[in-house]
Structure 1
Amino acid sequence: MKELTAKEVENLLKEKQPVNIVDVREVDEVRAGKIPGAYHIPLGLLEFRMHELDKSKEYIMVCRSGGRSGRASQFLEGQGYKVINMTGGMLSWEGDME
């Protein structure tokens, strides 16, 4: 599984790189703030909503600490998606939030 640190993801955003971020935290967690532009699909619904993702794109998976996003990454990789896990999750995030 490919991984990036929160700082590396923040740098991609600052450099205006095209990134697709999927936040797999629960609704109440996301309500407290998320990475600008991140798409929200709670981990428990990922299996039912993965059709909303495009297999031709690469996705950076995000959660609170990196565990759930790691599971999401493994699941989606098994389904043929290109994914990267953001290690450390939002606990490590120092960038802007919305």
Structure 2
Amino acid sequence: QEENYLPSPCQSGQKACGSGGRCAAAGICCNDESCVTEPECREGTGFPRRVRASDRSNATLLDGPSGALLLRLVQLAGAPEPAEPAQPGVY
């Protein structure tokens, strides 16, 4: 069986979003450079909720735990850095 390989989520055939990107998972828009959270890609806006693993056209579609993990990682990547912790004994 030949694997249907797509090099990036941007080529998944999903809905266009952001600045030249494509919806890679529910709530995630990816372009050639990065991924960001995007309301346009949320569930209920043309993004299919359930897919069969055998569907070749959905080879890069992230759903369920994979999509949730990607969304959380993008949220963490965009979060501000925490302040440096105080050093022990220094007030």
Q: TM-score range by the shorter chain?
A: under 0.3
Between 1 and 2, higher relative CO (CA 8 Å, sep ≥ 6) is seen in 1
Q: Which of the pair is proportionally richer in strand?
A: 1
* Structure with larger Rg: 2
TM-score scaled by structure 1?
0.26
TM-score scaled by structure 2?
0.27
